[in-house]
Amino acid sequence: MKPANTQKLIYTALCVAIGLILPQIIKLIPIANIGAIISPMHIPVLLSGFLCGVPFAAFCGIILPPLAFILTGMPPIYPVGISMIFELGTYGALTAVLYRTTKGKIYPSLIGGMLGGRAVMGIANAIIFGVAGNPYGISAFISGAFINALPGIVIQLIVVPAIVYALKKARLVPAVQ
């Protein structure tokens, strides 16, 4: 294995570990449904998009919800976990693609990845809820993806770029090719 792939594999494992630990810390905050509000799994997946490239970042996003369910029971695998698999997988892959396409521009990559992931989550929810015979319309999508998640979105827009900038300054982020 090339040294660059070894580094990406290590970063991916670290992001998966953070994605498993951070929700456990966040749920100590005594607020109902805090995980849906803060979205702690999203931060390490978005970071993996900047650090690891498409296949590793997509894997990070895809593996986190079922692994978290197996180890902690949260998120419930149906319906939330299934839609999160698609959402987080898209976050990782799309952020990585956009980061490379924009030649290292952090905010356009982050915002594009976040919007794309939420769109995929909306489509997944529409299918999942539709098959179950439950309505899932645009108001439910806007409410769940943007209004209820606004604190998490703000946190992601502050924390993720700060970490990426710090890692760039420390020369721990692979060069954009």
The residue type of 87 is E
Tell me if residue 128 falls in helix, strand or coil.
helix
Q: Which pLDDT score, from 0 to 100, does residue 1 have?
A: 63
DSSP 57-124: HHHHHHHHHHHHHHHH--S-IIIIIHHHHHHHHHHHHHHHHHHHHTTS-HHHHHHHHHHHHHHHHHHH
Query: Quick check: is 117 in a domain?
Result: yes
Structure confidence by residue, pLDDT tens digits, 27-43: 999 988 888 889 999 99
How many structural domains are present in the chain? Answer: 1
Question: Two tokens at 124?
Answer: 């997944």
What span, in angstroms and rounded, lies between the C-alpha atoms of 35 and 162?
A: 22
Quote the pLDDT of residue 48. 97
* pLDDT for 177: 60
Examine residue 41 and state whether it is found in any structural domain, yes or no: yes
Residue 13 lies in a domain: yes
Within a domain: residue 175? no
Task: Give the integer Cα–Cα distance in Å for 61 and 53.
Answer: 12
Classified as helix, coil or strand, 168 is: helix
Could you give the CA distance from residue 148 to residue 177 in angstroms, rounded to a whole number?
A: 36
pLDDT value of residue 16: 98
Q: What is the pLDDT of residue 8?
A: 93
Q: Give domain status of residue 127, yes or no.
A: yes
Q: Which domain holds residue 158?
A: 3-27+37-169
pLDDT of residue 143: 84
Low-confidence ranges of the chain (pLDDT < 50): none
- Does the residue 11 lie in any domain? yes
How far apart are alpha carbons 164 and 8 in whole angstroms? 15
